[in-house]
Amino acid sequence: MKIEIDLGRRSVEVLDPEDFTDLRAQATAAAPVPAEVDLVLRAAGAGRADDTHAHLSLAWLEGAADVHSRGTGDSFARMIAFATEHGWVDPAASTVRAHLVWSPPVG
């Protein structure tokens, strides 16, 4: 599951909502600007970011991926359980950590 954070449009979107094998956040920007990613994630209610990771709200991720309508709730739960086993879930904040990668804008 890839989360696209577009700093130009100031939007957050779930891409590949049925791929539960690779959770990552991809920020589209001309240069890495973690503080801007943090602002966009917070404004969308999607979580927060630091210099290297996005900390995604579990509730936001579940809703944005539309796991219940798609019938993929069990796969989502397994992905979160795997992340929990590896220490990537913060139960106090209800977030899951995803690598933050950067890509230049297209066009």
* Chain mean position to CA 91: 16
CB 7 within 8 Å of CB 28? yes
State residue 68's pLDDT score.
83
Task: Report the DSSP beta bridge partners of residue 98.
Answer: 54
39-69 pLDDT, tens digit per residue, is: 999 999 999 999 999 999 999 999 999 998 8
| CA–CA dist 97, 89 (Å, integer) | 6
* pLDDT at 10 > cutoff 90: yes
Angle formed at CA 60 by CA 56 and CA 62, multiple of 5 degrees: 100
Q: Taking the complete model, does pTM exceed 0.85, yes or no?
A: yes
Map out the domains of the chain as residue ranges: 2-103
User: 28 versus 106: which is more confidently predicted?
Assistant: 28
* pLDDT at 106 > cutoff 90: no
State residue 31's pLDDT score.
83
| CA–CA dist 3, 61 (Å, integer) | 9
Give the amino acid at 35.
A
